[in-house]
Amino acid sequence: MLKTGKQLRLRRLSLAGDDRHLLVPLDHSVSDGPIVPADKWDDLLRALVAGGADGIIVHKGRARTFAQDILKSCALVVHLSASTSCSADVNAKVLVADVEEALTLGADAVSVHVNIGSDTEAQQLADLGAVARSCDAWGMPLIAMVYPRGPRIEDPRDPALLSHLANVAADLGADMVKTSVALPIERMAEVVANSPIPVLAAGGPPDGSDLVEYGTAVMAAGCRGLAIGRRIFSSPTPAALVSRLSAVVHGGSTELSHDMRMANYSTIVAGVA
């Protein structure tokens, strides 16, 4: 029997019930600007849900704008960190929301971004620790997005460095870590083996190479899921792409049927009552 709110919410992040996750970050509208026209947001979200995304990641204000029926079978993750491309230091992430706000929005999890090697690493680590404390108090899952970025990083794809980052996330209280992928990709298995918590592979190859092949490789290396934003929301057919990635993450058919996803979600939500 599940006994804690955190366990119940973690189940909602894997609606196939296999503890694997396909998350779509959409927080880029703060860092880089609009990802779709304002009147196309609901269409994009419906496409992601229809394709089989387990969860979407957005900032608190954006979460208030959704049509109420959209996330009936998709988890909501509220991102608590921000910076913009206009900043003097784009790697300096600051907290712009808290766990309590995410709870009022019905969030299933929160995420925090930390750039190891940046000039403001110390404050970002302190923020991660503080959020983890609040997450434990409220039973809220925490996804740490920890990246090797800044003037002190020589090789951001080094498996030893990425293993260090995964342990930073775990030791400071995160339930999952999203981080960069080692090169060659096969060496991501070393990162997974060294991580006490599930590892989600970030992004995807920016060179336009096949995203499904990339996802297949990182899942074969032992990652527990994918967290891909830009390559999905910029696709001309996001629902079809998400469906293919969902098959990679969860195995089996190209996607869970709508009825199956709704049944799984209803079962999980019933545990909260």
Catalytic residue among 6, 27, 93, 214: 27
The values of phi and psi at residue 72, to 5°, are -65, -25
Cβ neighbors of 136 (< 8 A, separation 6 or more) are: 6, 173
CA distance 140 to 133: 10
**Residue 252 half-sphere exposure toward CB, CA atoms < 13 A:** 8
Q: Does residue 178 carry a catalytic annotation?
A: yes
Catalytic residue among 147, 175, 214, 265: 147
The values of phi and psi at residue 32, to 5°, are -125, -15
The token duo for 124 is 């970002």
The token duo for 99 is 């766990």
Cβ-contact 180, 148 below 8 angstroms: yes
Residue with tokens 């009147």: 39
Element (H, E) at 56: strand 55-58
Q: Does residue 265 carry a catalytic annotation?
A: no
Q: Does residue 214 carry a catalytic annotation?
A: no
Catalytic residue among 93, 178, 214, 265: 178
Catalytic residues: 27, 147, 178
